[in-house]
Amino acid sequence: MTETFLELHAMDKELLFEAFTHAPLGMVVLGINGKIVKTNSSFCHFTGYSNEEIVHFGLKCVFYEEDYLTIDSNYRKLVAGEVDAFHLEKRFVHKNGEVIWGSISAHKVSTSQADYIIGQVVDITARKQMEPEMDRLKSQLESLIDHHLDPILIFNEEGILTKANTKFEVDFGWNLQELLGVKMRDVRFLADEEEEKLKEKVLRGDCVEGYETTVKKKNGIVKDVMITSFPIKDHQGIKNGIAVSFRDITDRKQAEELMIQSEKLSIAGQLSAAIAHEIRNPITAIKGFLKLLQNSNEKQLYYEIVESEIARIELILSELLSLAKPQKNNFKETDLRLILKQCISLLDAEANMKSVQVDLKHESHLPIIHCDENQIKQVFINFMKNSFDAMPDGGFLHIEMENCMLTSGITIRFKDTGCGIPKEILSKIGQPFYTTKETGTGLGFMVSKNIIEGHSGTVHISSEVNVGTTIEIVLPCFSNIQ
């Protein structure tokens, strides 16, 4: 038993010696009297001296003279038990006279025979040589951030705020001292239903580009912004921070809202003739039945007819008013089938006047869409009217609704049998003030496209001359960050 133990002990010593000799880290073993016991090949390669030379001359020969006193002081504290270990970055002098840098770690080891100091060193010369350039780049980056025209916040890898530029302080009202140390999760700029998903995405280190939302300033004023966020990485590609910028798009949003309202009024004006015709019919019927009521015993029947005609007028007027009056964004869960049926009902008179037959087909199970009902209604009416205008001699407008598996949303297609659009014109559709209509503004399609994109959706138009045009809309269930 004793012989076997001794064999294992000898083997362990041999393995440890091999591991020490060929370790990629420079290693040196010293006695507590400061004399070198052994160095490994990596340490010798690092300094340029052989093991015998280092043992003979001592470590003083390999340390930069000004740094040796610090090393010796820490060594004495380690021997005396005042510290358990130390870590320093100091200069060495290679045998060829070149000054090199090493990251030094040392700790005390006690064995049954004696106490030793084990030192390790890693060559950090390349990193130290890069530090002036890195400091220069850091200074340039800080200057760029400080003088950037957009408000910028910088967080560390844990999501704690470390910097805010001057533009942020001016635009939002908070100064840097109020913000330092604040966690990103505690920053209450965004609406409650949006902020958590956005923050999770940012903290994961994902890039966020052009996310539009509203934020509150310190004084409570709400402003429209476009948020962009990206991870900050060190020279090794490791994330060590997060940058978040806020671009003020309030003016752009106001301009878009004015454009939308202008287009609404344009649509309302175009609808006026059909609306007047549609209202005149029930009014004529009401007047006729009122005369009949004077000399009839079937009053109940006439009352029901009059009531249904009045309800028809109310429906038309309410749909027209909801389209025309300015409204703030009001996103809520909506059944698009109901919206389309309302739009078809509103445009029924115009369709009859232009001999256009409208049919709606949809799958039995469609998801509920998170959208602004009034804006989506405006888009549907605009596309339906465009189809009517493309069929002056009558035709068919087929509206299809189906599940979109890619977005977990809905695909809506408006397919007409109109004159179609030539390829050279199709590429220009959507440009402001470009129109093929004598009385058109060219804003309708652009406004509709902006509304759909504001719902994180897409619009695609395809057409063939003398065959017809298809407009395809894809709307996801939710328009906020996933």
| Domain shared by 84 and 153, yes or no | no
Extract the residue ranges of the chain whose pLDDT is less than 70: 1-12, 187-196, 235, 258-281, 287, 289-302, 305, 311-312, 314-329, 427-428, 430-444, 478-482
The token duo for 12 is 């362990």
End-to-end alpha carbon distance in the chain = 67
Instruction: Specify whether the CB–CB gap between 345 and 384 falls below 8 A.
Output: no
Backbone dihedral angles phi then psi of residue 225, each to the nearest 5 degrees? -135, 160
| Domain shared by 327 and 452, yes or no | yes
Q: Which helix (H) or strand (E) holds 303?
A: helix 299-324
The token duo for 161 is 């705020």
| Domain shared by 324 and 391, yes or no | yes
The token duo for 343 is 């739009």
Strands (E), 305-362: 331-334, 356-362
pLDDT digits (tens, 9 = 90+) for 426-482: 766 755 444 555 444 455 677 788 788 888 899 998 988 889 999 999 998 865 443
Q: Is 152 exposed, middle or buried (0-12, 13-18, 19+ CB in 10 A)?
A: buried
The token duo for 148 is 């950037």
| Domain shared by 48 and 155, yes or no | no
Q: Would 89 be classed as within a structural domain?
A: yes
Q: Would 192 be classed as within a structural domain?
A: yes
The runs of H, that is alpha helices, within 173-298 are 176-179, 192-203, 250-294
The model's pTM: 0.41
Domain of 273?
253-475
| Domain shared by 273 and 244, yes or no | no
Instruction: Specify whether the CB–CB gap between 279 and 271 falls below 8 A.
Output: no
| Domain shared by 93 and 71, yes or no | yes
Q: Which of 248, 268, 299 is the last residue of a domain?
A: 248
Domain count, the chain: 3
| Domain shared by 153 and 183, yes or no | yes
Rg (CA), the chain: 39
| Domain shared by 344 and 466, yes or no | yes
Q: Which are the contacts of 193, defined by CB distance < 8 A and separation ≥ 6?
A: 480
Q: Would 404 be classed as within a structural domain?
A: yes
**Closest by Cα among 46, 160, 148, 165 to 94:** 46
Q: Would 78 be classed as within a structural domain?
A: yes
Q: Residue 103 carries which DSSP code?
A: E
Q: Would 92 be classed as within a structural domain?
A: yes
> Which CATH number do you get for residue 58?
3.30.450.20
pLDDT at 138: 74
Q: Would 454 be classed as within a structural domain?
A: yes
| Domain shared by 465 and 365, yes or no | yes
| Domain shared by 319 and 260, yes or no | yes
> Which CATH number do you get for residue 347?
3.30.565.10
Q: Would 338 be classed as within a structural domain?
A: yes
Q: Which of 248, 272, 307 is the last residue of a domain?
A: 248
| Domain shared by 296 and 239, yes or no | no
Q: Which of 196, 215, 248 is the last residue of a domain?
A: 248
pLDDT at 188: 61
pLDDT at 250: 80
Backbone dihedral angles phi then psi of residue 288, each to the nearest 5 degrees? -65, -45
| Domain shared by 274 and 239, yes or no | no
Q: Would 132 be classed as within a structural domain?
A: no
CA-to-CA separations, 231 to 50, 133, 203, 227, 315, in angstroms, rounded:
46, 21, 9, 14, 53
**What's the rounded Cα separation, in Å, for the pair 456 and 200?**
19
Q: Residue 40 carries which DSSP code?
A: -
